[in-house]
């Protein structure tokens, strides 16, 4: 084999010949055969010149281990991760998506204790807390990252840094010990970042929450994470081998995806009811090869290809796509129903959506369209030029400068435009990391909507309506506008929903009315996944999300899934 590719594995699948590619797949099969805990997604590479001594190795799509690397323990790698030449990664270590580790770096997820001065250190017990690295993190050469560290998304660890404390999302850190130099993502910087060069944890609070709220959130996070396995077991139907949203209910595509998201949030692993490989194969197998969409289970004509007019198939672009992403995989084919649309087709499609009277429904289709473009671009699928530009350009130009929204209010007050804004912006501006136009007007509109007693008194709340307030405020939080009011609202909604947790069952979708009589108040997977994400967003608006011990990484992830600039490379 060309030895250059052993040291530059990101070039392997483009430059290696068929025999070399077959040899690499044989290497992976042999590793997986010797240890069932080893799994490899598409287009991974493990150099035969690396020393891989893992108890568990889970490599996402297009992830690589280069020559000379030493990799041991339990290692999880998301998609597009690279451990470069002569680096040492010793687990437990968990990488998110697009983590790059420079040469000669050491990431050590355990430590020797030294409590007994009369015993040689190497004879004393080992402690391990593990290391977690978020999405889109660049770790330079000759860095050292020590046990127990959490490195936030979109951060950069400068060459030679020694990281002993958690790194906030979006920061650039350097030195020994590492300290924040500046912010790669200025929107994630705390308001006093320039005055505090140390490891300042995330955005500063928008107001002054009750001082006991952090402890309440910490206790809730501990409680929820300790019950993740029971919540999943409750929804599992051993007869069908599938999850249902609630015990005794029908199995649905979304329930399988919600289970993946909840397992990732609360346990850090795939649902234990089936292997990761089985779940990936099942979800990929449901994609229709003609349209690239996933229809609902048990639909009347399973032979008829689903299309984007089917609301279930449209939402499955999100739910199945992100479930596969969390599992280190992807759809087997592009979303063909979108791949062939020209820029003019997209503008015509947007013009025809029911914005005036049904902005939420319009946002639903935009969310599916934007997310399909994301998955297709990640696969480098052939498409007419200008698709994303047409979608984003239409939204920016058509946003109402008075409200920041794309729809209009009516008898339901601002429910339709605000909920439609969340769906449309989630799949486009938020997902691709693009600034929201008229951000202060968005805050005005959302805060006005949140005063509507029809939707926001405690007994009338549901997950959709609260999420569709929490996410827009989080999305424009860097504008530092009406922050005290946002803080008060976030704290009020947090305290409302935290009290609705059901032990070993999770959350219902709705509060259930004054008497708790609504059927969607029964705990289920959908309500649990959505409220866990809502709680994180509201807590983060207050600067307290770190107390929860989890962070959404799927459909309701807070950060962009990619950037337009990154997709252009």
Question: Please, which residues have CB within 8 angstroms of residue 52's CB and are 6 or more apart in sequence?
Answer: 31, 46, 65, 69, 71, 72
**Average pLDDT in the 32-38 region?**
87
Confidence of residue 271 (pLDDT cuts 50, 70, 90): very high
**How many angstroms separate the CA atoms of 318 and 59, rounded?**
22
**Pairwise CA distance, residues 349 & 469, whole Å:** 26
CA–CA separation, 336 and 376 (whole Å) = 9
Read off the pLDDT of each residue in 46-62 and give the average, rounded to a whole number: 95
Structure confidence by residue, pLDDT tens digits, 277-324: 999 999 999 999 999 999 999 888 878 899 888 999 999 999 999 999
Residue in 433, 448, 447 with CA at minimum distance from that of residue 483:
447
Question: Confidence class of residue 198 from pLDDT cuts 50, 70 and 90?
Answer: very low
Which residue intervals of the chain bear CATH 1.50.10? 213-568
pLDDT in tens, 111-137: 888 878 888 988 888 888 889 999 999
Computed over every residue of the chain, the mean pLDDT equals 91
pLDDT in tens, 448-480: 999 998 999 999 999 999 999 999 999 999 888
**Strand 93-95 to strand 45-46: parallel, antiparallel, or no bridges (unpaired)?**
unpaired
Over residues 199-235, the pLDDT tens digits come to 544 443 334 556 689 999 999 999 999 999 999 999 9
* Whether domain 213-568 has CATH 1.10.3470: no
C-alpha–C-alpha distance, residues 428 and 399, integer Å: 13
Residue 516 scores a pLDDT above 60: no
Longest dimension (CA), the chain: 78
The whole-angstrom separation of Cα 22 and Cα 443 is 55
- Residue 563, pLDDT > 50, answer yes
Per-residue pLDDT, 538: 97
CA-nearest of 537, 475, 501, 526 to 223 is 501
Do residues 157 and 140 lie in contact, with contact meaning Cβ atoms separated by under 8 Å? yes
Q: What percent of the chain has pLDDT over 70?
A: 94
Cα–Cα distance for residue pair 166/255, rounded to 1 Å: 34
Record the pTM: 0.69
Active site amino acids = 112
Q: What is the pLDDT of residues 135-189, one digit of tens each?
A: 999 999 999 999 989 999 999 999 999 999 999 999 999 999 999 999 998 877 7
Determine the angle formed by the axes of helices 253-266 and 525-541, rounding to 10 degrees.
40
Q: Which residues of 537-569 are buried (b: 16+ CB within 10 A; e: fewer)?
A: bbbbbbbbbbbbbbbbbbbbbbbbbbeeeeeee
Report the percentage of the chain scoring pLDDT > 90: 81
State the helix-helix crossing angle for 253-266 and 276-285, rounded to 10 degrees.
Answer: 150
Q: Please say whether the structural domain 3-151 has been given the CATH code 2.160.10.10.
A: yes
How high is the pLDDT of residue 112? 84
pLDDT tens digits, residue range 368-425?
A: 999 999 999 999 999 999 999 999 999 999 999 999 999 888 888 999 999 999 999 9
**pLDDT at site 191:** 53
137 neighbors 155 (Cβ within 8 angstroms): yes
Residue 203: the pLDDT is 40
Count the residues in the chain: 569
Phi and psi, residue 72, nearest 5°:
-135, 170
Q: Residue 247: pLDDT above 80?
A: yes
SS3 500: coil
Question: Distance between CA 399 and CA 83 in Å, rounded?
Answer: 43
How many whole angstroms separate alpha carbon 421 and alpha carbon 405?
A: 6
**Residue intervals in the chain for CATH 2.160.10.10:** 3-151
Q: What is the pLDDT of residue 288?
A: 96
User: So what's the pLDDT on residue 226?
Assistant: 97
Taking residue 425's Cβ as centre, other Cβ atoms within 10 Å add up to: 27
For range 487-495, the mean pLDDT = 94
Alpha helix positions (H), 413-509: 415-425, 439-449, 453-456, 463-475, 483-498
Report which DSSP code applies to 524: -
**Rounded to 5 degrees, what are φ and ψ at 506?**
95, -145
Cα–Cα nearest to 57, from 84, 26, 85, 28: 28
């Amino acid at each position: 084999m060309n030895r250059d590719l052993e040291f530059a594995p990101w070039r392997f699948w483009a430059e290696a010949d068929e025999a070399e590619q077959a040899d690499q797949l044989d290497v992976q099969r042999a590793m997986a055969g010797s240890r069932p805990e080893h799994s490899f997604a598409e287009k991974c590479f493990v150099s035969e010149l690396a020393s891989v001594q893992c108890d568990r190795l889970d490599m996402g799509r297009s992830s690589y281990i280069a020559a000379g690397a030493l990799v041991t323990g339990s290692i999880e790698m998301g998609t597009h991760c690279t451990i470069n030449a002569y680096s040492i990664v010793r687990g437990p270590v968990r990488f998110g998506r697009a983590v790059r580790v420079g040469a000669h770096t050491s990431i050590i997820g355990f430590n020797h204790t030294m409590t007994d001065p009369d015993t040689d250190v190497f004879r004393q017990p080992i402690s391990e807390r593990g290391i977690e690295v978020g999405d889109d993190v660049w770790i330079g050469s000759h860095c050292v990252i020590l046990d127990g560290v959490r490195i936030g998304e979109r951060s950069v660890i400068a060459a030679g840094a020694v990281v002993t404390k958690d790194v906030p999302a979006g920061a650039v850190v350097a030195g020994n010990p590492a300290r924040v130099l500046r912010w790669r993502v200025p929107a994630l910087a705390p308001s006093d970042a320039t005055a505090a060069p140390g490891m300042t944890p995330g955005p500063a609070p928008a107001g002054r929450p009750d001082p006991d709220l952090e402890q309440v959130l910490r206790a809730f996070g501990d409680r929820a994470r300790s019950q993740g396995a029971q919540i999943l077991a409750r929804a599992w139907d051993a007869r069908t081998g599938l999850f249902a949203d609630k015990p005794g209910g029908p199995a649905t595509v979304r329930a399988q995806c919600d289970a993946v998201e909840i397992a990732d949030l609360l346990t850090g692993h795939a649902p234990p009811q089936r292997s990761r490989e089985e779940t990936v194969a099942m979800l990929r197998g449901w994609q229709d090869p003609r349209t690239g969409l996933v229809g609902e289970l048990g639909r009347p004509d399973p032979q008829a290809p689903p299309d984007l007019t089917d609301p279930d198939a449209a939402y499955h672009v999100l739910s199945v796509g992100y479930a596969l992403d969390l599992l280190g995989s992807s759809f087997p084919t592009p979303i063909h129903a979108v791949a062939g649309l020209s820029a003019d087709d997209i503008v015509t499609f947007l013009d025809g959506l029911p914005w005036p009277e049904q902005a939420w429904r319009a946002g639903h289709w935009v969310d599916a369209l934007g997310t399909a473009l994301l998955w297709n671009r990640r696969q480098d699928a052939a498409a007419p030029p200008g698709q994303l530009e047409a979608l984003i350009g239409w939204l920016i130009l058509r946003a109402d400068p008075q409200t920041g929204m794309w729809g209009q209010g009516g008898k339901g007050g601002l429910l339709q435009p605000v909920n439609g804004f969340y769906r449309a912006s989630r799949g486009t501006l938020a997902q691709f990391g693009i600034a929201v136009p008229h951000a202060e007007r968005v805050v005005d509109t959302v805060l006005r909507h949140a005063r509507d007693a029809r939707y926001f008194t405690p007994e009338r709340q549901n997950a959709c309506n609260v999420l569709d307030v929490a996410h827009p405020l989080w999305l424009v939080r860097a504008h530092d506008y009406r922050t005290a009011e946002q803080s008060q609202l976030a704290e009020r909604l947090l305290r409302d929903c935290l009290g609705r947790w059901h032990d070993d069952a999770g959350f219902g979708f709705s509060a259930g009315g004054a008497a708790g009589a609504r059927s969607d108040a029964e705990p289920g997977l959908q309500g649990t996944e959505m409220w866990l994400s809502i709680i994180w967003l509201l807590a983060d608006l207050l600067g307290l999300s770190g107390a929860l011990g989890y962070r959404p990484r799927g459909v309701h992830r807070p950060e962009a899934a990619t950037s337009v600039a990154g997709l252009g490379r």
